[in-house]
Amino acid sequence: MLGDSHAAVFKKPLLQRCRGGIRVISVSGATASGMKNPNSSTNALKIFKSQIERKKWKRIIFYLGEVDVGFVIWFRAEKYGLSIEKSAQEALESYLSVISHAKLASNAEIAVLSVPWPTIRDGHQMGEVANLRSKIKASYSERKNLTLNFNADLKSNSVPREFTYIDFDPCVCDESGELSVGLYNRNPADHHYDYDVFSLILFNNAALREFIAGGNV
């Protein structure tokens, strides 16, 4: 399992009890956009490549993108005068590039998880991440819609590359199409999902359970 700070949910005992177990490499602040930059501040590309090449993996799960759809894509568009579509496409291509490298370098089966939905509502500035992201102009609705569009593009690009795409979008929303209240973290300064609630959603997902059961993840 290679991902940003959101991947830490896979360290929950409930998920570690899945047949086969999961080795979690979680790099806080890692971005899909940064996967093309070997000198990024998080050093995520080097860390991930090192893990991919250090042993023979049978299966690898990727869980990145929240930082991109929630901040980086918007920031880069404003800074460089790009359209949101162009900025998002660059992030997607960067992400697909490192996933493709992982498949070629390891010959492992690849699973890609859908990007988490935003939890930082308009005007909310409690916590370091929320305060940083307040610098962009995008509304909550715009960030949510970008997340859904990014996930749709990630899915359509995963299939022809023979990546297993696991979609959690239908699992995290309520009947009105909004993020389920229970997934908001009980700590208002924490932008991650509530791990107790989300780990149960992950555990009950048949596609994910089947992929993990293949072993050596």
Q: What is the DSSP string of 117-169?
A: PP---TT---SHHHHHHTTS---HHHHHHHHHHHHHHHHHHHGGGT-EEE--H
Q: Which residue has the higher pLDDT, 135 or 196?
A: 196
The residue count for the chain: 217
Cα separation of 135 and 168, whole Å?
Answer: 28
Range from 48-62, 129-143, 195-209 that averages highest in pLDDT: 195-209
Domain that holds residue 134: 2-213
pLDDT in tens, 130-157: 566 777 889 999 999 999 999 999 999 9
Percent of the chain with pLDDT over 90: 73
- Report the CATH number that the domain containing residue 184 is assigned in CATH: 3.40.50.1110
pLDDT of residue 18: 77
Region 14-29: what's the mean pLDDT?
A: 86
Confidence (pTM): 0.93
Cα separation of 126 and 210, whole Å?
Answer: 38
Cα separation of 197 and 213, whole Å?
Answer: 22
pLDDT in tens, 90-121: 999 999 999 999 999 999 999 999 999 999 88
Query: Amino acid letter at 99?
Result: I
pLDDT of residue 34: 86
Count of structural domains, the chain:
1
Cα separation of 3 and 8, whole Å?
Answer: 8
Name the pairing type of β-strands 109-113 and 164-166.
parallel
Phi, psi angle pair for 193, to nearest 5°: -60, 160
Cα separation of 216 and 211, whole Å?
Answer: 10
Which of the four pLDDT bands, split at 50, 70 and 90, describes residue 35? confident
